[in-house]
Homo-oligomer: A and B are copies of this chain.
Amino acid sequence: MSSKEIKQPASALSSPRFCNMGNFMRMQKIESLDGLDFVVVGIPFDTASSFRVGSRFGPNGIRNISVMMKPNNAILEVNILDELKGGDYGDVEVIPGYILPTYENIEKELTPIVQAGVVPIALGGDHSITLAELRAVAKGHGKVSLVHFDSHADINEEVFGERYNHGTPFRRAIEEGLIDPHTSIQVGMRGSLYDPDEFKKAAELGLKVIPAHEVRELGFEETINQIKERVGNNKVFLTFDIDFVDPAYAPGTGTPEVGGFTSYETLGILRALKELNFVAFDIVEVAPCYDSCEITTLLAANIAFEFMSILAVQKKNGKK
């Protein structure tokens, strides 16, 4: 489909939301990247999960409840589909049980998207997928800054004696030169740790970490300032692990940590970053089989919607 054919999805004021579900927000299925601003792409891979599995059903779960989303962002004052061209690109063909060939597929399928100047909004899947996404992004944009919301830093050297796991992607990404640690930032880390020096190790890698308790001490405004200052005008990959949010608000995930953030706080932080130079987003670790009546998938759909809203605001303001 060419870009001029992108349509607003059916309004739930005229077409019930439970009709013709399937694509994110019931947007059109994308078949050509020509002229697009963004695509939603599912990466239903959870083989690298260390505890609970099930985020392979994350993309479908998020899409199912995303029928509740409407195109206007009332706070950012923008209609995402008035400003942007995009839709649902379907899922990357993953290979359950096999990390390395799946990484190849993710990279192969995302590279053309990135190279076409289209912003991928990936729905995971466990956090291991972000490494492969970053490989694709690096092909189009070179080394990028990472803005990483999560309760875990995911910078282990190895897990179970293996280098590729959902607990290692950002160490690998630094080693592979995909992200610039010195302009990257990790926010929200909390919970008990194996390594008492985990934050020191992040620092040794060049990363800046704002653990959850420091976010509370600094306040959100200062936290946001530090994020903005850290990444500056660099190209940014925003990766959002749903366990950044407290399990009360997002129980449907593999390794929940108590003491987290609310949905209101979360959406506020994201909107406050609306001026950063984003080139890719993902929302990962959503495991519907541990959810409570879709509250986690609904939040994930809202997070993806905020990503789109930021792009829309930027386009409206002529930034992109």
- A212: chain B residues within 8 A (beta carbon): 264
Closest chain B residue to A300, Cβ basis: B258
Chain A at the B interface: mostly helix, strand, loop or mixed?
Answer: loop
Q: Which parts of A78-110 form the interface with B (CB within 8 Å)?
A: 79, 90-99, 101
A298 touches B247 (CB 8 A): yes
CB proximity of A41 to chain B, nearest CB, Å: 11
Task: Tell me the complex Cα distance, A101–B165, Å.
Answer: 14
A247 to B98, CA, bound (A): 28
Say yes or no: is A148 at the interface (Cβ < 8 Å to chain B).
no
**Is there contact, CB below 8 Å, between B264 and A246?**
yes
The reply to whether A162 and B95 form a contact with Cβ atoms under 8 Å apart is: yes
The smallest beta-carbon distance between A12 and chain B, in angstroms, is 6
- Name the one of B74, B160, B289, B302 contacting A14, with C-beta atoms under 8 angstroms: B160
- Interface size grouping (class) on chain A: 35 or more
A103 to B75 CA separation, bound complex (whole angstroms): 36
Contacts of A48 in B (CB 8 A): 97
Query: Within A42-91, which residues are at the interface with B (CB < 8 Å)?
Result: 42, 44, 46-54, 56-57, 59-60, 63-64, 67-75, 77, 79, 90-91
Q: Are B53 and A46 in contact (CB under 8 A)?
A: yes
Query: CA A159 – CA B15 in complex, angstroms?
Result: 9
Determine the chain B residues whose CB is within 8 A of the CB of A51 once the complex forms: 12, 16-18, 67-68
A267 within 8 A of B: yes
Q: Give the residues in chain B near A101, CB-CB below 8 Å.
A: 161-162
Q: Is there an interface contact between A256 and B295, defined as CB atoms closer than 8 Å?
A: yes
With A18-B57, A259-B264, A263-B258 in contact, is A50–B12 under 8 Å at CB?
Answer: yes
Can you list 14 contacts pairing A with B, beta carbon distance less than 8 Å? A16-B160, A19-B90, A53-B54, A54-B54, A60-B64, A70-B191, A72-B194, A73-B192, A74-B190, A192-B305, A247-B298, A248-B249, A259-B263, A292-B293
Interface residues of A (CB under 8 A from B): 11-23, 42, 44, 46-54, 56-57, 59-60, 63-64, 67-75, 77, 79, 90-99, 101, 156, 158-162, 164-165, 167, 189-196, 198-199, 211-213, 216, 246-249, 251-252, 255-256, 258-260, 262-264, 267, 289-293, 295, 298-299, 302, 305
